[in-house]
Amino acid sequence: MSDPAAMSGSSAAMHIGEVAARTSLSLRSLRHWDEVGLLHPSGRTDGGFRLYQESDVEKILVIRRMKPLGFTLEQMKGVLVDTETLCDPAADGEARRTARERVDAIRTEAIERRAALARQLDMADEFLELITREVAPD
């Protein structure tokens, strides 16, 4: 879509720089996600510049939150597709059930990955305490 005014939704279209600033992500990451099909902007200007809606920003924030947990691009894309299915009142029961199962599995995996990260942080804190005691002035 080339006309920003014609983009659906009530929010104003945002250029990639504004989205990058709002999400604390690089332009490079946002462009890469578009190129690999993870997240396409809602539209483009006549000059080809990416235009995003608030709903795009919400999806970007989901991706950004999944990244530290080590999920793959495919897993992130799957979560976006599944959450859209779950929010779609026209989705049939089987599609919703399948999407729910996948989202539940990702949630379980996210809990496990977060626990592993918490253990790593605990070990890092123990190391910092140890090294601080070792080099503390007498």
Cα dist from 119 to 66, 113, 114, 125, whole Å: 18, 10, 9, 10
Domain end marker among 67, 91, 124: 67
| Domain identity same for 60 and 5 | yes
Query: How many domains are contained in the chain?
Result: 2
Residues 46/2, Cβ–Cβ less than 8 Å: yes
Tens digit of each residue's pLDDT (9 = 90 or more) over 103-136? 999 999 999 999 999 999 999 999 999 999 988 7
| Domain identity same for 13 and 59 | yes
Chain mean pLDDT for the chain:
91
Domain extent at residue 9: 1-67
**Higher pLDDT among residues 22 and 136, named by residue:** 22
Domain end marker among 37, 67, 97: 67
| Domain identity same for 121 and 76 | yes
Q: Is the pTM of this model over 0.85?
A: no
| Domain identity same for 12 and 45 | yes
pLDDT of residue 88: 95
Q: Is residue 138 very low, low, confident or very high in pLDDT (cuts 50, 70, 90)? A: low
Beta-sheet strands, E only, within the chain = 14-15, 43-44, 50-52
Domain CATH code at residue 41: 1.10.1660.10
| Domain identity same for 128 and 94 | yes
Distance (Å, whole) CA 50 – CA 33: 12
**Higher pLDDT among residues 81 and 137, named by residue:** 81
Tens digit of each residue's pLDDT (9 = 90 or more) over 29-59? 999 999 999 999 999 999 999 999 999 999 9
Whether 9 has a pLDDT exceeding 80, the answer reads no
Average of per-residue pLDDT across 64-70? 95
Domain end marker among 67, 91, 119: 67
Rg (alpha carbons) of the chain, rounded to whole number: 20
